[in-house]
Chains A and B, each alone.
Chain A
Amino acid sequence: DAGVTQSPTHLIKTRGQQVTLRCSPKSGHDTVSWYQQALGQGPQFIFQYYEEEERQRGNFPDRFSGHQFPNYSSELNVNALLLGDSALYLCASSLGDRDFNEKLFFGSGTQLSVL
């Protein structure tokens, strides 16, 4: 049973570029959340997707956008990269969007470095 898989594991970009990160949820899960973890900090919620729609969004600018596909996989897109976007981006999956008590399963993350 595959867990949450993210690709790529590492990425180096320059300021102003655009990046796409990918996530496949744990088998049987239909909800995907994205978090940004800056060095030395706890993860911060970016947004959550369920039924191919963004259900809730954290305090991130519109440069951060996402998508969920019919097979429940998801992409995180970041436009006009800034140095401050350098972080570990974590994808988490869960089942359903009604049980807020459901535990999250996290991938190992994509380490993004913006130069």
Chain B
Amino acid sequence: AQSVAQPEDQVNVAEGNPLTVKCTYSVSGNPYLFWYVQYPNRGLQFLLKYITGDNLVKGSYGFEAEFNKSQTSFHLKKPSALVSDSALYFCAVRFTGRRALTFGSGTRLQVQP
């Protein structure tokens, strides 16, 4: 079955330290992968996407993600976390031929001052 998983409910990191939010997927064919962020009482905001090409994708607010086909992963990263990065992060995948995005369960990122 095609699916996307975020294995961590919460990630805690100190301000200034690098952060990683994990995402793995299970799909046949080539997926289109996305990261969205949700701040309290707000809708989701697009961060970045991987369609094809370079495995390292750069996005908004200094975030980047690395596509790893052999490990079927698409982890979100940032070299230096900010307190303002604290939010709920969703990995999403669009499967071939489907219009819908399938979202993971979300990972809450807490950046401590």
User: Smallest distance from the beta carbon of A44 to chain B beta carbons, Å?
Assistant: 7
How many residues from A make CB contacts under 8 Å with B?
25
B34 neighbours in A (Cβ, 8 Å): 103
Cβ of A100 and Cβ of B42 under 8 Å apart? no
Q: How large is the interface on B (under 10, 10 to 19, 20 to 34, 35 or more residues)?
A: 20 to 34
B46 neighbours in A (Cβ, 8 Å): 103-105
Cβ of A107 and Cβ of B106 under 8 Å apart? no
Cβ of A103 and Cβ of B49 under 8 Å apart? yes
Q: Given A42-B90, A109-B43, are A101 and B49 also a contact pair (CB < 8 Å)?
A: yes
- A106 located at the interface, meaning its Cβ lies under 8 Å from any Cβ of chain B in the complex: yes
Cβ of A41 and Cβ of B41 under 8 Å apart? no
Cβ of B49 and Cβ of A48 under 8 Å apart? no
Name B43's contact: one of A41, A101, A106 (CB within 8 Å).
A106
CA distance A104 to B51 in the complex (A): 15
The interface of chain B, by Cβ under 8 A from chain A, is 32, 34, 36, 41-46, 49, 51, 90, 92, 94, 98-106
16 A–B contacts, CB within 8 A, in A order: A33-B99, A33-B100, A41-B105, A42-B92, A42-B105, A43-B44, A43-B101, A45-B101, A45-B102, A48-B99, A55-B99, A92-B44, A103-B34, A104-B44, A106-B36, A108-B42
